[in-house]
Amino acid sequence: MKPISVGLLGIGTVGGGTFNVLKRNEEEITRRAGRPIRITAVADKNLELARQVTGGGVRITDDAFSVVSDPEIDIVIELIGGYGVARELVMKAIENGKHVVTANKALLAVHGNEIFAAAQARGVMVAFEAAVAGGIPIIKALREGLSANRIEWIAGIINGTTNFILSEMRDKGLPFAEVLKEAQALGYAEADPTFDIEGVDAAHKATIMSAIAFGIPMQFNAAHIEGITKLDSVDITYAEQLGYRIKLLGIAKMRDAGIELRVHPTLIPAKRLIANVEGAMNAVMVQCDAVGSTLYYGKGAGAEPTGSAVIADLVDVTRLHTADPEHRVPHLAFQPDQVRDLRVLPIDEVITSYYLRMRVDDKPGVLADITRILADSDISIEAMIQREAAAGEAQTDIIMLTHETVEKNANVAIAKIEALSVVNGPVVRLRMESLQ
Rounded to a whole number, what is the distance in angstroms from the first to the last CA of the chain?
A: 50
Do the Cβ atoms of 225 and 186 come closer than 8 Å?
Answer: no
Three-state DSSP at 345 gives coil
| Alpha carbons 285 and 436: distance in angstroms, whole number | 10
Q: How far apart are CA 355 and CA 222, in angstroms?
A: 24
Would you call 51 helix, strand, or coil by DSSP? helix
Residues 222/261, Cβ–Cβ less than 8 Å = yes
Least distance (Å) from ligand HSE to the CB of residue 374?
37
Strand segments (E) across 16-97: 37-43, 59-61, 75-78
Single-letter residue type at 314: L
CB of 393 to ligand HSE, least distance (A): 40
Residues designated catalytic: 205
List contacts with ligand HSE (CB under 6 A): 159-161, 196, 201, 300-301
User: How near is the Cβ of 354 to ligand HSE at its closest, in Å?
Assistant: 27
Q: Cα–Cα–Cα angle for 431, 131, 162, nearest 5°?
A: 40
Provide the 10 A C-beta neighbour count for residue 354. Answer: 23
Closest distance to ligand HSE from the beta carbon of 103 (Å): 8
Q: Which is nearer to ligand HSE, 301 or 430 (CB)?
A: 301
Going by C-beta distance under 8 Å and a sequence separation of 6 or more, which residues neighbour residue 221? none
How many CB atoms are located within 10 Å of the residue 227 CB?
24
What count of other Cβ atoms lies within 10 Å of the Cβ of residue 382? Answer: 16
Decide whether 203 or 427 has the Cβ nearer to ligand HSE: 203
Q: To the nearest whole angstrom, how small is the minimum distance from the Cβ of residue 300 to ligand HSE?
A: 5
